[in-house]
Amino acid sequence: MLNGSPYPKSFASDNHTGVHPAVLAAIGAANTGDAPAYGDDRWTHDFEAKVKEVFGEGAAGFAVFNGSGANMVGLAQTLRRPFDAIICPDTAHIATGEAGAAERLLGVKLFTVSTPLGKLVPSDVTKVLDALEGSNQPRPTAVSISQVTELGTCYTPDEVSALADVAHAHGLLLHMDGARLANAAAFLGCPLRDFTTDAGVDVVNFGGTKNGALAAEAVIFLSATLAEGLPLLRRQSLQLASKMRFISAQLTALLTDDLWRANADHANAMSRRLADGVSDLPGLSIHYPVESNAVFATLPPEAIPVLQSMYSFHVWDKSESVVRWMTAFDTTPAHVDDFIADIRKVLNA
């Protein structure tokens, strides 16, 4: 048993990790004396300045508690009328992993599109819009994509730019769920702004929790004019922290000296190590391209419960025996190699 867990290392989610030491140190450093509440503190001002440094002078960043909250706050700002709607992949977290928050809290219809690798293309958007023309259906005002996608794949800057162009041509905004934004930039080998600000994204989440933070995410509007009224909307959405300095300090730590990239680079490398270590096994196949810190694998059905008795991981698609293995900033080569060795034993390879 390790740290109270029956598993030697979790491969279920990068949410299972602890906090990066530098982030924990930043929380401790902020825990000195009193400071104004609700973000009127020097740590939050530092975070807001860092957002402009990383994403561009026109960017406005707002710290929130969690990823679902970041999605709801960001998407709420894209809605204008009670009959608005959002176009997204059918695998999108807002459609499958947030308990209907978009429908319940925003009162918005989601037009979901089936995508082979979790990525929308411009024709997906135009097909939805064409099908709605002249109908009594709600009208989309935003396109929402995930970077990294829920299938572990990444949009290139050109792919994002093409989506932004088609969205803007039809008067829609482009929202990016960036729960694993750092992992995408690490895989693509580019700055965060290459596939956000410079590609025409309107609002993006910067995910901190999966990248080594305790409970810290950010909603970033890439044009300050889009953020009008956001402080009140964040409070109304129950995403305003009274002791904001402790969230802001974490985000600033991740954005300083590219700590976010170091964490993501390492997590991605561990997934690549895992995929390479099992790719030759009979009865096992890699289901989606490994472009981040996720490995989706198809296993013999009988092997899954045996491995789950040894390691924590999720079954992604029971009907096709697809599992998802996640790595994180604190996954070590030894963790991965031990897992590979046990997979080989279970598969008798």
Over residues 263-312, the pLDDT tens digits come to 999 999 999 999 999 999 999 999 999 999 999 999 999 999 999 999 99
Question: SS3 helix, strand, coil % of the chain, rounded to 5?
Answer: 45, 15, 40
Residue 349, pLDDT > 80, answer: no
Residue 134, pLDDT > 90, answer: no
Helical (H) or strand (E) element with 143: strand 139-146
Kindly indicate the confidence band of residue 182, based on its pLDDT and cuts at 50, 70 and 90: very high
Residue 123, pLDDT > 80, answer: yes
| Those residues with Cβ within 8 angstroms of residue 251's Cβ, 6 or more apart along the chain or in another chain | 47, 50, 61, 63, 206, 208, 213, 216, 218
Cβ atoms 60, 220 nearer than 8 A = yes
**Tokens matching residue 127:** 């097909």
Handedness of CA 158, 162, 165, 168 (dihedral sign): negative
d(CA 173, CA 190): 23
